[in-house]
Structure 1
């Protein structure tokens, strides 16, 4: 009798399997506490209840039901949270959590130089793919931008490999385009058959090459405005890249559509100015004149600090340019960036 009693007590510890209902339960799900008897029943319960079987460590447990197991679990969970926060704090990829503050020295130079050209340059965080692709370079000793440009030739002769492209455009990227050159000069490599690139892309760009530079239209992808995904600016082929980008918002680098008609690409509409800027996208005030407002006693402390840092940068920029020998190299630029970084760090402290 005693053995039968022990067997009945043991079988009642978890009860009957809640999936098949015919066998003794041997397992209890850590998350939803469903009792199962076999691996097959476990898989069925996970599939039907969409359960991953992982215990929810943030689930509320009354104080009266707390045991050493729950206490140790909470302690380990808090330690993991602390390690996660520390890792993100020292991760260079996630170091800059705001677009427009505490930028590295080269990016700070680029943004300040673009602002003087009336260009609102918005720089993304380091882990964004568009930021990784950006090869825009500021030759600060000569005070000249060399932009990366994505050219999208609309309605090319052959379909692009990207079948999801709604306007069937052929995409080409130029790593560094001099801002003092006109759009017509920048596109000669794709249109002039005397150049190797134009001959290589003959089958793809035959329609654009036939029309010629005089019959092409240029459209800049709008950024920082409402409904920017379907809006663009009209650009002039005989004006320099610097003049065409003035008064525009650029996210990392410009994207320019090239069409052989006077109409914008299909699905796009023309916008004349940046007056409809979206503050949430750019992270700055929509009024361009707000950057030139004088600092008064009523200005917030944070705004004063940022204004002072910009002035410090301008002073260093002027001094370094005045005493430079005019020969620019990547090694010299790296040394200058390091020196200016120490300079700005001391001033901020």
Structure 2
């Protein structure tokens, strides 16, 4: 005997199947009522989930919009990394309304030494050379750091070349290109007319390492294929 189960059928009518009014009975009425209640519960659950997500992301969205707005006022293109990404979580850059200044997370990358240092809240009015000088100070008890940064410390901020990678290059562009930053410029001036994703990463390059970098001319924004 062929049962509803062996036939691949639950034995119940499809809840969305059309039923003529002449055949509509109390069982159909109860089924439709239950169906509508379940749909309402699902809609309510989805709404609550959206509200929780919006509430959780609210402060982050506000911070992102504020950074975008303040960067735009400074003639700079600031872009956020995807929500939840490590770059988005690490970036503590913010706008100090009291000082009316942007406070940037800045990573200093000593490329030839495979070493990085970070300023968590660097005032945009700080000169690059002054900020870098703090990281070139060799304190006692840091032998490994001394060895890594010896050449950079001996060269000093004025002899090192500061580079910022050009972001936003189109697909198909060959290699990476870099903006050259001036040590006597403030961070605000250095970032003007540049694109930054999350926070600035400034490369420190020794004179002997310079030939391997493709450096843009002042004011150049290369957009085509190199």
If the length of structure 2 is used for normalisation, what is the TM-score? 0.68
Measure how far apart 1:201 and its partner are.
2.4
Structure 1 residues 263 and 189: CA distance shift in structure 2, 3 A? same
RMSD after superposition: 3.7
| CA displacement at 1:252 relative to structure 2 | 1.0
Runs of 4+ in 1 over 4 A off after TM superposition: 69-72, 81-88, 92-96, 195-200, 262-266
Q: 1:134 to 1:208 in 2, by over 3 A?
A: same
Distance 1:258 1:95, change over 3 A: same
Unaligned runs of 5+ in 1: 1-64, 97-101, 157-168, 278-349
Provide Cα deviations, 1:114-155, integer angstroms capped at 9, x if missing partner.
111101111234311101000112112321111101111021
1-structure distance, mates of 2:141, 2:196: 27
**Which of 149, 152, 166 is the equivalent residue of 2:106?**
149
Alignment of 1:206 with 2:163, yes or no, is: no
Per-residue displacement from partner, 1:176-221 (whole Å, max 9, x unpaired)?
111111111001112234x569877212211111222221000002
Query: Separation in 2 of the partners of 1:239 and 1:182?
Result: 5
Give structure 2 stretches of 5+ with no counterpart. 1-6, 15-34
Moved more, 212-221 or 198-207: 198-207
**Aligned match of 1:91:** 53
Distance 1:212 1:103, change over 3 A: closer
Distance 1:250 1:213, change over 3 A: same
Distance 1:257 1:238 in 2: 16
- Evaluate the alpha carbon distance shift between residue 196 and residue 70 of structure 1 in structure 2; reply closer, same or farther with a 3 A threshold: farther
Q: Which residue of 1 aligns with 2:117?
A: 172
Residues 89-137 of structure 1: CA distance to partner in whole angstroms, max 9, x if unpaired? Answer: 34249858xxxxx973333222211111101111234311101000112
Structure 1 Cα separation of the partners of residues 122 and 134 of structure 2 = 12
Give the number of equivalent residue pairs: 189
> Given the two structures, how large is their TM-score scaled by the length of structure 1?
0.46
Pairwise mapping of residues 1-349 of structure 1 onto structure 2 (< 5 A)?
67-68=9-10, 89=50, 90-92=52-54, 104-156=61-113, 169-193=114-138, 201-226=145-170, 227=173, 230-261=176-207, 264=210, 266=212, 268-272=213-217, 273-274=220-221, 276=223
For 2:168, what is the secondary structure of its paired residue?
Answer: coil
| Structure-2 separation of matches of 1:243 and 1:263 | 25
Rg: which structure is higher?
1
Q: Which has the higher contact order (CA 8 A, sep 6+)?
A: 2
